[in-house]
Amino acid sequence: MSETRKRKTKNIPNNSISDKDKTKEGETKTVSPKSNIPLRVLSRAVVIFSLLIIVYFTSNDGAFKIFAKQNEVISGKGQIVECSSAYLREIDKFEGCFPKQCKRFVTDKVITDKEVDELLMIAKKGLKYGGSSGGASILDLHSGALSMGQHFINFYKRSEGKNVFTEKDFTTYKVVKNKIKYSIGHYFGVNPEKIYLTHPTFFSEITSKEAVTVHDEYWHPHVDKETYKSFHYTTLLYLTDYNIDFKGGRFVFIDEKYNRTIEPRKGRVSMFTSGKENLHYVEKVTSGTRYAVTISFTCDKQYAIGDPDKRKFNNDL
């Protein structure tokens, strides 16, 4: 902060000068109308005001727009964003995987109610064998990773996990994955045969319990491509409803002017390019339980993973 300079004022009427401002020789000195406010108080006020402005524009409660409301059925809604240069440089290496535009896109018309109900059942019957000490738990059908206390276990290697998932469960998961994969191809203008399922892909269960480990702190702003090297396209399928099954837990894109918020709706698919153009976070869940499944895709075949199936499940037991 630049230093404030004192300035002399001119032609102040004599009646504006108090006896305190008279010198011993009878002369008078001019006084600024603001001279009775200490400089340090003004400086502190400026600093506080500046901090309030920063908080306002970085807070999701300060400036945001609802991109997708829970109570509306959206056939398809997208927002084009400027691709980050790093994302473009990397994705340009892979034929058929370059998007027409970087964007985020929401639709409620890809996954059926029946499919969502079946996925929610899969999530619940697997997660009941584990559960984080904090408020965020995950179940990965591919690797068998399951939150347990402050750690993760391989659910497929636990004896109590035998016969939990059926072939029908894995088939439902595969059908949903393929629907989302081809939706990315359609809405982003890429060849769906050139994008591949990648790790991690998982169910999430979030409650209002206090975080215990860093794995429970899901609310920090992040870029998927920086967190997971293999990601090029990220999708989320919501299995429960905002403000009905849980409160809080909205998905927030952080943009320069406004944060754009997606309110989870059962069966809603949110998809977006995974670069810096889509910095985001999830609000803290304040009550209830939020279920979703993250299904991620890569353009780099070396990071591709196969679909989970009953045979792999049995081999790991």
What average pLDDT values come out for the chain (317 residues) when binned by 10 residues?
Answer: 39 40 40 49 54 43 85 98 97 96 98 98 96 96 95 90 90 98 98 97 97 95 97 98 98 95 98 98 98 98 93 60
At 287 the pLDDT is 98
Predicted TM-score of the model (pTM): 0.80
Active site residues: 290
Please give the class, per CATH, of domain 64-315: mainly beta
At 43 the pLDDT is 57
Alpha-carbon distances of 76 from 190, 265, 289, rounded to whole Å:
17, 14, 26
Angle at 26 between CA 22 and CA 28, to 5 degrees: 45
Can you say how many angstroms the Cα of residue 142 is from the centroid of all Cα atoms in its chain?
Answer: 23
In the chain, CATH 2.60.120.620 covers: 64-315
Are the C-beta atoms of 103 and 81 separated by less than 8 Å?
yes
At 121 the pLDDT is 98
